[in-house]
């Protein structure tokens, strides 16, 4: 079993729909990241969470530390939101260094 699980693996939505992507993890973490990877491959960090909720534009990320679960929501989805969304958890590694463990990603396609 992967230490970081995402669902769904693939998601197709119509423009304007509200989208939720889920992430569950089984290890102790110091923070959780939501990343966006476009078809060209470049990765953009959307959020880093250690508790509660963060909002940036149409994106909202929440985390429940007790349940080891996080969600990424996209409101009023748009075709330009089409990308792979990756959940990554930060774990302590070799003293002070942190490393990220990545989920397998959710491929989102928003159709006009």
Among 1, 39, 40, 80, indicate the residue that binds another protein (CB under 8 A).
40
C-alpha span between 25 and 88 (Å, rounded): 9
Write out the binding residues for another protein, residues 52-81 only, by CB under 8 A: none
Least Å distance between CB 16 and another protein? Answer: 28
Among 33, 61, 72, 89, indicate the residue that binds another protein (CB under 8 A).
33
Q: Applying CB under 8 A, does 93 fall inside the site for another protein? A: yes
Least Å distance between CB 99 and another protein? Answer: 6
Nearest to 111 by CA among 25, 15, 30: 15
Piece of the chain touching another protein by CB under 8 A; list 14-22, 54-62, 65-73, 89-97: 89-97
């Amino acid at each position: 079993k992967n230490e970081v699980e995402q669902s769904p693996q693939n998601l197709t939505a119509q423009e304007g729909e509200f989208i939720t992507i889920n992430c569950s993890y089984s290890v102790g973490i110091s923070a959780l990241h939501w990343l966006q990877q476009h078809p060209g491959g470049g990765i953009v960090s959307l959020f880093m969470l250690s508790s509660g909720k963060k909002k940036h534009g149409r994106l909202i990320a929440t985390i429940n530390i007790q349940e080891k679960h996080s969600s990424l929501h996209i409101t009023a989805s748009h075709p330009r939101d089409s990308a792979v969304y990756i959940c990554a958890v930060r774990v302590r590694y070799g003293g002070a260094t942190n490393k990220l463990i990545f989920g397998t990603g959710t491929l989102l396609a928003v159709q006009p």
